[in-house]
Every structure is written in structure tokens, then in C-alpha cells.
Amino acid sequence: MSVPVRIYLDHNSTAPLHPAAATVWENFARAPTPENPSSIHWAGRLARRRLGEARAKLAELLGASDARELFFTASGSEANVMALQGALAFAPPARRRILVSAIEHPSVLGALEATCRRRPDLEVEVLHVTRGGTIDLDAAKARLGADVFLVSLMLANNETGVLQPVRDLALGARAVGALVHCDAAQAVGKMPVDVGDLGVDLLTAGGHKFGAGFGLGLLVNRGVRTEPLLPGAQEAGLRGGTENVAAAAAAAAALEATLAGAGETSARIGALRDRLEEGLAARVPNLVVHGAESPRLANTSQVSFLGAPAEAVLIGLDLEGIAVSSGSACASGSLEPSHVLRAMGISDAEAAAAVRFSLGPSNTGAEIERTIDTVAAVVANVRRHTGQ
């Protein structure tokens, strides 16, 4: 039995390790001595220097005004929890309201839910989104007031790729003295992200989303008073635990290399994504592309093949060597329809048929053509077996 040629179209879940990051990891693996930046001897000093260089480079690439604004965590999810729970610890009684979009990552929604269990005086209000996948900006601005402490809005949705009006909402939030948190995990590395230009106070990302490898989250904190998530002396006392120097250095190398050719790469990937959607529309009847009318990341396409359950389609594509997703990798295994699509007003039946294709720099035109052919065959087969 021949092994199918493998095609990876799940970059929003995890991007392949960037060659620049791979070189860094390899060099650290071959180092003759371990490097703990908390140690006072020569090996510790070397580690602190390398950690500082990575911090400075990442802060620069994300538009932070000072390297001391950037903090390392173990993941993007942890960075979200650190930002939100840490800041909300100091929410005064007069500012009890928190605004959050309905399509945020589970780590954001979970952090707010956990915080409100401990602080029942706080109140979370959900910002609704349109069928196109963007928040209703006018409605969101109308809910801003002097009693709002914090607003949380992602930059790019991990399922649909739809971009959110973070800058516009941040302007309104600043006018009433509210803090703004932005989960930029899906955007960093795929487009320029500048925390100053966005006008947010807290910005989070995860290294594995842009090819740095696992084990690193990023938090840009522009002067917000926060309570430590993990007590300890590291990260200016805001996050205890020995820093992952290799992961930080790999992240700096990966993000710098990725952004160096981001414009050209994004245009090429966008053309491949458009060809994928065009080809699927021509070959597969009764499909819907979610968020197609809204600004999106160039690499992302979430498609519902009506009458073909996503789980069956994913299995069929996997057997043919094509890796895709039904949505957020963090929610894999869940039988519940996507909370993102539900928030957009998509029916449960349509949401249950949604498949996410997320492309990357390594994908080729030939891979997209093979994917179109394979998806058409798999969906037709699934529909035959489900009586659709």
C-alpha cells in the first residue's frame, strides 16, 4: 500500500519550524554547558546576554518602545492568562465592566471566567459579531463608558482569519480610560504587528504560530500594573520560572526572518488561498466560505461543505495525506460546534461541516491543485454515505 504524499494545510495550528529557528535550537543543543540566566557565574551571564538580545529584538519587531515591555511565558495561552488575570487583579470597584468579543480564543474567555469567579463584583459583557466575522464596531463603541476597566479583542481570528478593528476600538477605549488587550497570536508573523500603532496596552502571541517552535509565549505590557501569575524573581518579578533562552532566541530569529519577506510571501500565499477557494467552488456544490466578504489573513480559509460532517471530511483527507483542521486546535476533540461560527450566526448544522485550511510559505501550487481534487472526491464520498 503506497503512502500518500503529505500536504500540510494547518499552519494556524502550528507553523513548521523556521530554518532560522532550527539553527538556533541546534546550536543550543550542541552547547557544551547549560545556560541558566538566573545563575551568577559566566554561563549564567552568557545566558542573560542572549536572553536580553532576544528580548530586545522581539520588542523591536513588535513595536514596543522599550525591551523591558516584553515578557516571556511558556505559551500564548499563558500570556493571555497572565495579561488578563494580572491586570484585573487591580480593577477598582468603579470600573467593574469588561468587554470581550464573542470570538476570542478559549484561553481569553477562560481567563475572564475564572477571574470573575474570584471577583464576583466584575462583569463581563460580550461584544457580538456580524455574519462576516467582525465585531459590530459602532455597537461596541456605544458600550464603552467610564465604568469599563478593560477591553479584549483579538487581531485575527484563528478559525476564519478575519481581521478585527483593534485600532479603532482602542481609540474609543482610550477616550474613556479603559485598558485594551489584544491577542495577536494568529497575526504575528503573517502580517506586520505594531503594538504602538494598534494603540493597545497588552499584546500577546505564541512562538509556535510563527515557526519558533514550542515552549514560548510573548506578552507586551506597556506599563500596566499586573499581579504575577507565577511568583518568582524572573521576568521582573511578573513570571517566575527559569526562562527558556533557546526558545526566546529561536523566536527572535524566526520572526525577524519571517517579517523580512512578509509582503511577497503573503501575496503568494494569498493567491494560493484564492485559487483553493475558486477551485473548491467550481468542483464542490453547496459550500460556504466563512468571512469571505471581510478582510482576512491571506493564508486562511474556513469552508463549510454542507451535508458533509467535518469529522468525516477530516478523516478522509488525512487518509489521503492532507492535514487540515475543523477549527481551533485547542478545541480538538470537542463535539460542540465552533463558538466562533455560532457567534457569527451560523447554524449548528453548517458549523458542524466547517473545515479550516491554513496555508504557509512551504505550500505550492501543485499541492493546492491536488488538494482541490482530493477534497472534491472526499466530500462527494462522505455525502454519498450520509445520504446528502
Tell me the per-residue pLDDT of 249-267, one tens digit each, with 9 for 90 and over.
Answer: 999 999 999 999 888 999 9
Query: What percent of the chain stands above pLDDT 70?
Result: 96
**Pair 148, 95: CB distance under 8 Å:** yes
Each residue's pLDDT tens digit, 196-220: 999 999 999 999 999 999 999 999 9
**Which sequence spans correspond to the domains of the chain?**
7-16+262-386, 19-260
Question: CATH number of the domain at 7-16+262-386, please?
Answer: 3.90.1150.10
Distance CA 366, CA 157 (A): 27
Distance CA 98, CA 122 (A): 7
Which of 235, 206, 251, 225 is CA-nearest to residue 78? Answer: 206
Q: In the chain, helix, strand, coil percent, each to 5? A: 45, 15, 40
Distance CA 122, CA 148 (A): 10
Average pLDDT of the segment spanning 369-373: 98
Distances (CA, A) of 138 to 88, 143, 147, 254: 25, 9, 18, 37
Q: What class, spelled out in words, does domain 19-260 have in CATH?
A: alpha beta
Compare 332 and 357 and report the one with higher pLDDT.
357
Confidence of residue 329 (pLDDT cuts 50, 70, 90): very low
DSSP 272-298: HHHHHHHHHHHHSSSEEEETTTS-B-T
Any idea which residue has 499584546 for its cell? Answer: 203
**Pair 292, 342: CB distance under 8 Å:** no
Confidence of residue 1 (pLDDT cuts 50, 70, 90): low
pLDDT computed for residue 172 by the predictor: 97
pLDDT computed for residue 35 by the predictor: 82
Pairing of strands 148-152, 97-101: parallel
**Residue 171, pLDDT above cutoff 50:** yes
pLDDT computed for residue 334 by the predictor: 54
pLDDT computed for residue 327 by the predictor: 63
- The C-alpha cell that represents 329 in the structure block: 486546535
**Residue 347, pLDDT above cutoff 80:** yes
pLDDT computed for residue 326 by the predictor: 86
pLDDT computed for residue 161 by the predictor: 98
The identity of residue 254, as a single letter, is A
- The C-alpha cell that represents 190 in the structure block: 503573517
For residue 104, give every residue at least 6 positions away whose Cβ sits within 8 Å of its Cβ, in sequence order, or none. Answer: 152, 153, 154, 183
Distance CA 294, CA 167 (A): 16
Report long-range pairs for 138-141 (Cβ below 8 Å, ≥24 apart).
Answer: 140/99, 140/169, 140/172, 141/169, 141/172
**Pair 152, 170: CB distance under 8 Å:** no
What are the φ and ψ backbone dihedral angles of 382, each rounded to 5 degrees? -65, -45
pLDDT computed for residue 33 by the predictor: 86
**Residue 148, pLDDT above cutoff 50:** yes
19-260 has the same fold as 7-16+262-386: no
- Look at residue 382 and give its three-state secondary structure: helix
Query: Would you please indicate which residues are annotated as catalytic (active-site) residues?
Result: 330
- Look at residue 206 and give its three-state secondary structure: strand
Average pLDDT of the segment spanning 33-47: 90
101 has which bridge partners?
A: 127
Distance CA 328, CA 259 (A): 24
Distances (CA, A) of 18 to 21, 209, 336: 5, 11, 33
Query: Of the ranges 42-51, 295-304, 366-375, which one carries the lowest mean pLDDT score?
Result: 42-51
Average pLDDT of the segment spanning 117-132: 95
- Look at residue 72 and give its three-state secondary structure: strand
Q: What average pLDDT is seen over the chain? A: 94
